[in-house]
C-alpha cells in the first residue's frame, strides 16, 4: 500500500477525498485513497464514484507522480482537462505552512501539464473558528422521519403537460446552477426523477435527480442533486419545501444518509443548518 494510515488519518480534518468529494466518516479509509491512485492509471470510474451516473469518462484524476506523503502532511494533486484545465492540490496537514507547499506544487504541475488553473484545496475541521468556502453537511435518515411536504412539490412528470413544458425555460434561466445540464439528462432518460415546485402553473424551482446508490462500504446513499429556485420566486418557502420533499423521497427509498456541500453562509447553507444537519467540516479553495 502507498499510503500509511497512521500518517494520513490525523490530518483528515474533514472527510473529503480527491476526485471523489465528501464521503461518510464511516467510509473514510485508506482503501479510498489507494483506489483513487489505482484508477488514475486506467481512467475508470470507481464503482461508488458519484460522477459515474453521468457516464462518459472520468474528468479528474490523481497525478500519482506529484503525491507527497509524509508524517507531517500529505499533498495529493489532481488534473482536470476540462476547459483550459486545472490542477488542484489537496493539502492535508495541521500546520498552515502546508498551504504554501501545496501552492508551489500546484503551480509547478500546472506549468508542466500546460493548464491554466492552479488551486489548493484545504480541508478544515468542523470546529474551525472562521470557516470559509464550502461546508460539508450530513443528513442522517435513520434518526427521525422526513414527512412529505405535499403540494406545491411533485415529480416533474406528475405535473400536467403544459406545466412540464415550462421546465425548459426554467432550466435555461438557471443555467449557472446546472439545471440546463440536468434537463439534457432528463430528456435523454439518463437520470432519476426530478422534483419541481410551481407558481401560477409554471415551474419555478427544482431539485434532482433523485437516486440512491451504495457507497464504498455498501451503505445506501442519496446522491447529490441540483437544486435551484428562480430569484423572483424566493422567500416563499419553496426551497424548503423542495428540500424536504427530496429528504422524504430519499428516506422512503431506503437511503441511510445524504452528504451535501453548501457555500458557507449561503441560502442553502442556512437552510441545512436550520434543518438540523450535522457539519462535518469545510473545504477552502484558493488560487495557487
| Beta strands at 86-93 and 73-80: parallel, antiparallel or unpaired | antiparallel
Residue at 278 is within a domain: no
Residue 213 DSSP SS3? strand
Asked if pLDDT for residue 30 goes beyond 90, the answer is yes
Closest among 277, 255, 266 to 138, alpha carbons compared: 277
Asked if pLDDT for residue 24 goes beyond 90, the answer is yes
Mean pLDDT of the region 227-236: 94
DSSP conformation class of 197: E
Over residues 91-129, the pLDDT tens digits come to 999 998 999 999 999 999 999 999 999 999 999 999 988
CA 192 to CA 113: how far, in whole Å? Answer: 37
Over residues 244-253, the pLDDT tens digits come to 999 999 999 9
Contact 65, 58 (CB under 8 A): no
pLDDT at 141: 96
Mean pLDDT of the region 3-31: 96
Quick one: 111 and 16 in the same domain? yes
CATH of the domain at 166: 3.40.630.30
Residue at 285 is within a domain: no
**Percent of the chain at pLDDT above 90?**
90
Quick one: 110 and 157 in the same domain? no
Over residues 43-88, the pLDDT tens digits come to 889 999 999 988 888 889 999 999 999 999 999 999 999 899 999 9
pLDDT at 152: 85
Contact 63, 40 (CB under 8 A): yes
Mean pLDDT of the region 172-193: 94
pLDDT at 71: 97
Its pTM stands at: 0.92
pLDDT at 130: 79
Cβ contacts of 82 within 8 Å, gap of 6 or more: 59
Residue at 248 is within a domain: yes
CA 111 to CA 133: how far, in whole Å? Answer: 26
**Last residue of one domain, picked from the residues 67, 99, 130:** 130
Quick one: 116 and 162 in the same domain? no
pLDDT at 190: 87
Quick one: 192 and 147 in the same domain? yes
Mean pLDDT of the region 22-40: 96
Asked if pLDDT for residue 151 goes beyond 90, the answer is no
CA distances in angstroms from 110 to 57, 77, 78, 194, listed in the order given:
21, 10, 10, 38
For 202, the domain range is: 143-255
Beta bridge partners of 181: none
Segment holding 167, helix H or strand E: helix 167-173
Kindly report the backbone phi and psi dihedral angles of residue 79, in degrees, each rounded to the nearest multiple of 5, phi listed first: -125, 130
Residue at 172 is within a domain: yes
Contact 30, 5 (CB under 8 A): yes
As for how many domains the chain has, the answer is: 2
Quick one: 18 and 47 in the same domain? yes
Over residues 160-179, the pLDDT tens digits come to 999 999 999 999 999 999 99
Beta bridge partners of 69: 74
Edge-first strand order for the sheet with 195-199 is 153-155, 195-199, 202-208, 226-229
Cβ contacts of 237 within 8 Å, gap of 6 or more: none
Amino acid at each position: 500500500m502507498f499510503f500509511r494510515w497512521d500518517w494520513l488519518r490525523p490530518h483528515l480534518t474533514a472527510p473529503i477525498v480527491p476526485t471523489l468529494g465528501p464521503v461518510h466518516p464511516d467510509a473514510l479509509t485508506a482503501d479510498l485513497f489507494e483506489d483513487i491512485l489505482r484508477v488514475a492509471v486506467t481512467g475508470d470510474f470507481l464503482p461508488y464514484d458519484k460522477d459515474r451516473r453521468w457516464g462518459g469518462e472520468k474528468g479528474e484524476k490523481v497525478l500519482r507522480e506529484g503525491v507527497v506523503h509524509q508524517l507531517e502532511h500529505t499533498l495529493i494533486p489532481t488534473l482536470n482537462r476540462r476547459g483550459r484545465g486545472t490542477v488542484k492540490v489537496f493539502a492535508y496537514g495541521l500546520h498552515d505552512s502546508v498551504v504554501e507547499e501545496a501552492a508551489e506544487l500546484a503551480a509547478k504541475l500546472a506549468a508542466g501539464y500546460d493548464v491554466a488553473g492552479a488551486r489548493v484545496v484545504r480541508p478544515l475541521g468542523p470546529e474551525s473558528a472562521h470557516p470559509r468556502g464550502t461546508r460539508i453537511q450530513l443528513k442522517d435518515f435513520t434518526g427521525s422521519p422526513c414527512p412529505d411536504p405535499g403540494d406545491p412539490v411533485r415529480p416533474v412528470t406528475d405535473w400536467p403537460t403544459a406545466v412540464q413544458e415550462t421546465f425548459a425555460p426554467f432550466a435555461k434561466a438557471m443555467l449557472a446552477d446546472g439545471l440546463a445540464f440536468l434537463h439534457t439528462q432528463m430528456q435523454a432518460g439518463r437520470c432519476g426523477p426530478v422534483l419541481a415546485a410551481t407558481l401560477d402553473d409554471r415551474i419555478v424551482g427544482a431539485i434532482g435527480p433523485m437516486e440512491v446508490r451504495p457507497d464504498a462500504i455498501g451503505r445506501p446513499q442519496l446522491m447529490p442533486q441540483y437544486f435551484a429556485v428562480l430569484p423572483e420566486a424566493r422567500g416563499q418557502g419553496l426551497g424548503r419545501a423542495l428540500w424536504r420533499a427530496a429528504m422524504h423521497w430519499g428516506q422512503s427509498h431506503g437511503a441511510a444518509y445524504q452528504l451535501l456541500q453548501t457555500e458557507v453562509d449561503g441560502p442553502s447553507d442556512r437552510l441545512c443548518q436550520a434543518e438540523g444537519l450535522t457539519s462535518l467540516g469545510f473545504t477552502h479553495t484558493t488560487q495557487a
